[in-house]
Chain A
Amino acid sequence: MPLQKILKWLNSFFNNKKSFSIGLYGNVNTGKSTLANKISKDWSGEEMSSVSEIPHETRTVVSKEKISIEVDGKKIVLNLLDMPGITTKVDYREFVEKGLTVKEAQKRAKEATRGIIEAIKWLEHVNVALVVMDATEDPFTQVNLTILGNLEARKIPVIIVANKIDKKKAKPERIKEAFPQHKTVYISALKGTNINELYKTIANVKA
């Protein structure tokens, strides 16, 4: 029925107008999927990605659509995109050390490489980027600098998430000092520490 089609189109048009896409970018094992799960669970009641100690657990773009977040009376609807970790080197031998067979490890390496290419291609569909960094690691990495430089060039708003502040070695202030041009939020996605601060920041960037 033409009328139904028109209504469907209008509905999708207005829903799209309200929602926007947030992409979680960053190096491997910085806690992107743990954070995606935390956000998804807090606002939709269910997790969205699997998490593992073995690097490159997320090898395809995982999306959760229309997550409704309400902060300080502001309501926003967003599509959350958990991206594969970006790195300049993928080596199956690293996975063999973690207990995978050579065949499994080579397959994982190929999928991880494809995932990196996919994550980069998705940049053009992202409205806001959460760049997740491990606060126990040196933030001056080629990957961090490249991701931030590219997002800046594309004029995509960036929120830096200094994750893993529950760990003793964490020095989130190092991240803030390294990239003073961006808003940095210190959190522990695993423990949920300071997560509301992140939600407020997302709501403000969106506004």
Chain B
Amino acid sequence: MPHKCVKCSKIYANQSKQLLNGCSCGSRIFLYLRDDQITLQEALDNGLKINNEIDLSEQPVDSKKYAWLQEELKELSKEQPVTIDYDAIENLRILEKGRYEIDVSSLMEGNALIVKDDQGVYYVQLPKGPTLKP
């Protein structure tokens, strides 16, 4: 499923290397698009047009809206790329700037850091994979 950069709105297909390394614009936060997978995939293949219903290219993400969250997440997630998911279970909820709710139990169990903001958008810190030796 595609992921959209919250800064420049560029869309990447699932498993794109940019989802691990960060977008070409430098942002490391992606919006996880949870619509019909096939339609979106077709949209990606056809210049992001979906039967005149949704034109993702003309709906850029409001990067200003996410600017403070990006700063917040940059420090909390230590530069790890994060993906926004609409269906995840959060263990850190940002109610507003300076107000947080923490699911201590979930974090102690070793679950990945999943942040939910006041708009109901989720951010998932991708766990580090094992380091491969050449």
Contact = CB atoms under 8 A, between A and B. Distances in A.
Interface of A: 86-93, 102, 105-106, 109-110, 113-114, 116-117, 120, 123, 142-143, 146-147, 150
Given A109-B99, A116-B107, 4 more contacts: A89-B100, A92-B98, A142-B105, A143-B104
10 contacts: A86-B104, A88-B102, A89-B100, A92-B97, A93-B98, A93-B99, A106-B97, A109-B99, A110-B76, A117-B113
A146 B113 contact: no
Q: Which bracket fits the contact residues of B?
A: 10 to 19
B75 interface: yes
B72 interface: yes
Contact of A89 (B97, B102, B109, B113): B102
Main secondary structure on chain A at its contact with chain B? helix
A174 to B, nearest CB: 22
B105 A90 contact: no
Contacts of A113: 76, 92, 100, 102
Given A91-B99, A106-B97, A146 B75 contact: no
Interface of B: 72, 75-76, 92, 97-105, 107-109, 113
B101 A88 contact: yes
Contacts of A86: 104
A46 B39 CA distance: 65
Nearest to B72: A110
A92 B108 contact: no
Contacts of A142: 104-105
Contacts of B108: 120, 123, 146-147, 150
A43 B109 CA distance: 34
Given A88-B103, A123-B108, A114 B75 contact: yes
Contacts of B109: 150
Given A90-B99, A105-B98, A150-B109, A116 B76 contact: no
Contacts of B98: 91-93, 102, 105-106, 109-110
Nearest to B99: A91
Contacts of A89: 100-102
Contact of A110 (B75, B105, B107): B75
